[in-house]
Chains A and B, each alone.
Chain A
């Protein structure tokens, strides 16, 4: 291992300073717009107009699984599932025209692979959100559908 001398440390700092991002106003402006080209890095709830979509989907999820036994906890967990699902829908909508061109357009293929990380993240979030929802909602669904209770008792948890 090489020993770090004071001179080498100073040289490292000088070199690092040379490679720390854009210098010109145009470069800084371009870098400031990184990850904002398609808005897919924004959580769906921060995009204007999507909150009602999340609410509506969460209600559909809760209603379809738990029905009349739904409570605010179910809805809260379903909202997390709905957010992730709508993020997946946004990514898939963005990649649709690219997917049609993968056989002919090399740029489309690269772009799809770039978009893929957003879908991967959203899928992962939805998986864990769905597990959390199922942990709470399925006992309630069983109690309502098969035993006529609107809330699962402690014994069935």
Chain B
């Protein structure tokens, strides 16, 4: 199949079978490494599929955290505009510069805003609500991203569980078949020393 002639033909980069680390340049890579190490110690993946799923769980946990932080910063970024709208609705003169000074944490502006909101029997709730309304499209997109990441994390966990349960079921069938054959032959089944209980599939 030909790629469009004016586009570079994709060439396989040196890929590993795991995706690249999801850590952004401004994030703490050691925190992600600690997360992967902790999950690995808990789950003890026994084969490549389990390594893939485990890494996926770690990546989605990381992604969920990033999206949640993005939601918070999105609302915080719109707080100044939200405050301006609330102050405007209260009829405050110079609402925009006051909101700008409040956002810069100017002490006088903070006092003035607190007094104005208190006088109107309002707290920061309406301000945050205004900020949320201003960024609703973006928050909805981030919500969708977060929901997808949660669903995929849970699916990877279910995949590991199914894989191990299926291994245990295969082991059970094999063990029963060996015992049945031994009973027919009138002898004893002699499993190899490394045989493990089906309740410990992760240690295979």
Question: Out of A49, A64, A100, which one reaches B47, CB within 8 Å?
Answer: A64
Chain B interface extent, by class: 35 or more
Residue of B49, B180, B192 with highest tally of chain A CB at under 10 A: B49
| Residues of chain A within 8 A of B4, CB atoms compared | 32-33, 36
Given A33-B7, A146-B192, A147-B192, are A65 and B49 neighbors across the interface (CB < 8 Å)?
Answer: yes
Stretch at the interface among B30-38, B89-97, B139-147: B139-147
Most buried by B among A32, A86, A145, A157: A145
B-contacting residues, A66-88, CB 8 Å: 81-82, 85-86, 88
**Can you report 6 residue pairs joining A to B where beta carbons are below 8 Å apart?**
A65-B48, A86-B17, A99-B24, A100-B24, A102-B67, A112-B145
Q: Is B22 touching A139 in the complex (CB atoms < 8 A)?
A: no
Known interface pairs A109-B138, A147-B192. Does A89 touch B19 (Cβ–Cβ under 8 Å)?
yes
**In whole angstroms, what is the CA distance A156 to B71 when docked?**
52
List A residues at the B interface (Cβ < 8 Å): 32-33, 36-37, 39, 42, 46-50, 52-53, 57, 60-61, 64-65, 81-82, 85-86, 88-90, 92-93, 96, 99-100, 102-103, 106, 109-110, 112-113, 116, 120, 123, 127, 130-131, 133-135, 138-139, 141-143, 145-148, 152-153, 155-157
Contact yes or no, A123 B152, CB < 8 A: yes
Contact A49 B52 (CB under 8 A): no
B58 to chain A, nearest CB (A): 12
- As a 0/1 sequence over residues 141 to 164 of chain B, the CB contacts with chain A under 8 angstroms (1 = contact) are 110110010001001000100110
User: When the two chains form their complex, are residues A89 and B18 in contact, meaning their CB atoms are under 8 A apart?
Assistant: yes
Q: Which of B48, B59, B181, B191 contacts A146 (CB 8 A)?
A: B191
